[in-house]
């Protein structure tokens, strides 16, 4: 019975996270359109590319850590995959935000 509640909480967290991220992207694009700026340019494409490559690299370490601690935490496979997906989404959002704030460095 406890597993059902964990699944429902995890599912709601994912839905809320996707909705908040979608609203944020929508408002940024609408403000760009109102200013007369293009919604996608080379800088935003480079930021997205760098954030995605860095978050993929960090997500590999996340999966190693999750698999290492999965036995001691006694997580089931579906919970482990759910936490991994949530972690990957958070890693991408954090890396994208940091790169967007600090700018591209080569």
Reported as a single tens digit per residue, the pLDDT across 62-94 is 999 988 888 787 877 877 888 888 899 889 989
Q: How far is it, in rounded angstroms, from Cα 95 to Cα 98?
A: 5
Collect all residues with Cβ–Cβ distance below 8 Å to 104 and sequence separation of at least 6: 43, 46, 47, 50
The whole-model pTM stands at 0.71
Answer yes or no: is pLDDT of 105 > 80: no
Mean pLDDT for the stretch of residues 18-22? 85
């Amino acid at each position: 019975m406890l597993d059902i509640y964990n699944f429902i909480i995890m599912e709601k967290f994912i839905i809320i996270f996707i909705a908040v991220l979608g609203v944020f992207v929508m408002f940024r694009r609408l403000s760009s359109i109102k200013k007369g700026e293009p919604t996608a340019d080379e800088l935003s494409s480079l930021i997205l590319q760098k954030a995605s490559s860095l978050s993929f690299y960090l997500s590999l370490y996340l999966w190693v850590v999750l698999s290492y601690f999965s036995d001691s935490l006694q997580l089931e496979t579906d919970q482990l995959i759910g936490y991994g997906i949530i972690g990957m989404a958070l890693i991408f959002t954090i890396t994208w935000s940091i790169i967007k704030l600090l700018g591209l460095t080569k």
